[in-house]
Amino acid sequence: MISFLLKGILRDRSRSVLPIVVIAIGVFLTVLLSTWMKGIFSDAIDMNANFTTGHVKVMTKAYAENAAQRPNDLALIGVEELISTLEADYPDMEWVQRINFGGLIDVPDANGETKAQGPAFGQAVDLLSPNTKEPERMNMEKSLQQGRIPNAPGEALLSEDFAKKLHVNLNDEVLLFGSTMDGGMAFKNFKVVGTLSFGSTVLDRGAIIVDLADAQQALDMEDAAAEVLGYFGDNVYHDKKALEMTAAFNAKHADPEDEYAPTMQRLKEQGLLMSMIDMSENMRSILVSVFILMMSIVLWNTGLLGGLRRYAEFGLRLALGEEKKHIYKTMIYEAILIGIIGSIVGTALGISVAFYLQENGIDFSSLMKSSSMMMPQVYRSIVTPDAFVIGFIPGVFSMVLGTALSGIGIYKRQTAQLFKELEV
């Protein structure tokens, strides 16, 4: 019977083409939007993790409470010992120190007079240790617009836009004015050896990146760091593991009397990332549900039209002794077959376009000039194994639901009218 139904579907284009087209479009959109959203959220989460949050972050309790102000006077001290403890407790993690600081960049002319000045957002990362992964983690090589990555103390990178704004050229000296950990004035000269564009408006607006040791020296933060970031070995965020880790760490180090006691936060707890990750996780199920609903309504109507066109066929089948229940069942089988065919077509199209967007992306930089969130400017999709099956859920389910609704009419058919109905 299945092969008989399949022949009917393949030969009767009006029975199959419209539903297959509707399903293919719906599945195509589901796959494409799903992979694209996953790509956007993953990029945004990765960018945040790599630049600011880590997969977990250790700060003092006081710093954590005022994290938005970057209060280096509340930074962690005795960081080397803390990192040794963390490495012993969590050997699969990588731990790095970071210092974020604000300041003023002064650009002198040939006579040492101020040529230009601008407020800067500084980030100190480990650039010079032999095995440091920080330049790679922050994608510096690819983000370089001019020059090179610092390889000696006293060297710095500026964001490309910032350098242009201040008319800074490669190998120019700039002076950083800031405040030390104790609240004193801090001054340090840096040689600009490269410019960067990270593709994030927040980072590219006025960034200076220096080596951690230089910042510790300039800001009077020997053996201190604002934050210690932890990254999982596979560089993928695992919320469950992070939750267990933070719970264990905070239980071990909790001290209500000590506001400088270290506290650990997972990526999800920081900034807007909780809602972003939750949205990322929920978006696909919302998307699938919306497409199921929309396509079911369309396919319900398609099924009603198809049912009208096949009125004589169903009447004949009833007359030949087929039960209404069996006819209804065969309609559902047909719907499953059509749903699978449409889903295969839609998935193939969706994956093809998703692969293209994974490689090329779409540049939204012009729309994000004033964005205050750390978001990538080029939005890419990401094709994961589940993208190959996610479209089948709305594809098959909507076709079956649409057919199930429209097929109910079979049960209202009066066999006593069959001779009259089949006369025409």
Partner 1 sequence: MNHASIISIQHMTKRFPVGKGEFTALNDINLEFGEGEFAGLVGPSGSGKTTLLNIIGSLDTPSEGTATVMGQDISTLSHKASALLRNQHIGFIFQSYNLLPVYTVFENVEFALLLQNRSASERKKAVLDALEWVGLTDKMTSKPAMLSGGEGQRVAIARAMVKRPKILLADEPSANLDAQNSHQILKTMKALNRELKTTFIFSTHDEKVMQYLDRIISLEDGKVVSDVEKAAAAL
Q: Provide the minimum distance between the beta carbon of 411 and partner 1 in the complex, in angstroms, as a whole number.
A: 10
> Which residue in 226, 230, 221 sits closest to 248, CA to CA?
230
Which stretch in 104-112, 134-142, 176-184, 310-318 sits in contact with partner 1 by CB under 8 A?
Answer: 310-318
DSSP string over 209-236:
EEEHHHHHHHTT-TTEESEEEEEETTS-
Residue 378 or 408 with smaller CB distance to partner 1: 408
- Specify whether the CB–CB gap between 339 and 402 falls below 8 A: no
With contacts defined by CB under 8 A, how many residues of the chain interact with partner 1? 28
* Whole-angstrom distance, CA of residue 189 vs CA of residue 173: 7
Q: Does 171 bind partner 1 (CB under 8 A)?
A: no
Query: What would the x/- binding string for partner 1 be over residues 267 to 306, using CB under 8 A?
Result: ----------------------------------------
Determine, following the binding rule CB under 8 A, whether residue 315 of this chain makes contact with partner 1. yes
Contacts of 308 (CB under 8 A, 6+ apart): none
Closest distance of CB 399 from partner 1, Å: 19
Residue 47 tokens read as: 């960018």
Give 11 or 240: the residue with its C-beta nearer to partner 1.
11
Least spacing, CB of residue 315 vs partner 1, in Å: 8
Measured CA to CA, the distance from residue 251 to residue 263 in angstroms comes to 9
Asked whether position 416 contacts partner 1 by CB under 8 A, the answer is yes
Asked if 253 is part of the footprint of partner 1 (rule: CB under 8 A), the reply reads no
Q: Which is nearer to partner 1, 272 or 312 (CB)?
A: 312
Which of 11, 91, 251, 256 lies at the binding interface for partner 1 (CB under 8 A)?
11
Q: How many residues does the chain have?
A: 424
- Which residues, listed in sequence order, are joined to residue 106 by a DSSP beta bridge? 117, 175
Name the maximum alpha-carbon separation found in the chain: 107
Selection from 33, 6, 37, 31 nearest residue 392 by Cα: 31
* β-bridge mates for residue 185, sequence order: 179
- Region of 158-166, 174-182, 252-260, 311-319 interacting with partner 1 (CB under 8 A): 311-319
Beta strands in 61-172 (DSSP E): 76-77, 93-108, 114-125, 144-147, 155-159
Q: How far apart are CA 167 and CA 164, in angstroms?
A: 5
Q: How far is the CB of 237 from partner 1 (least distance, A)?
A: 54
Task: Give the nearer residue to partner 1 in terms of CB position, either 13 or 252.
Answer: 13
Partners of 60 in the beta sheet?
262
Phi then psi for 378, rounded to 5 degrees? -105, 120
Residue 21 Cβ vs partner 1, minimum distance, rounded to whole Å: 19
Please give the DSSP secondary-structure letter assigned to residue 52.
I
Q: Which of 80, 136, 322, 363 binds partner 1 (CB under 8 A)?
A: 322
- What is the nearest approach in angstroms of partner 1 to the Cβ of residue 410? 12
The minimum distance between CB 4 and partner 1, in angstroms, equals 6
Least gap, CB of 384 to partner 1 (angstroms): 40
> Binding of partner 1 at residue 324 (CB under 8 A)?
yes
Strand 262-266 relative to strand 76-77, pairing: unpaired
Please report, as ranges, the residues that interact with partner 1 according to CB under 8 A: 1, 4, 7-8, 11-12, 15, 312-313, 315-324, 326, 415-416, 418-420, 422-424
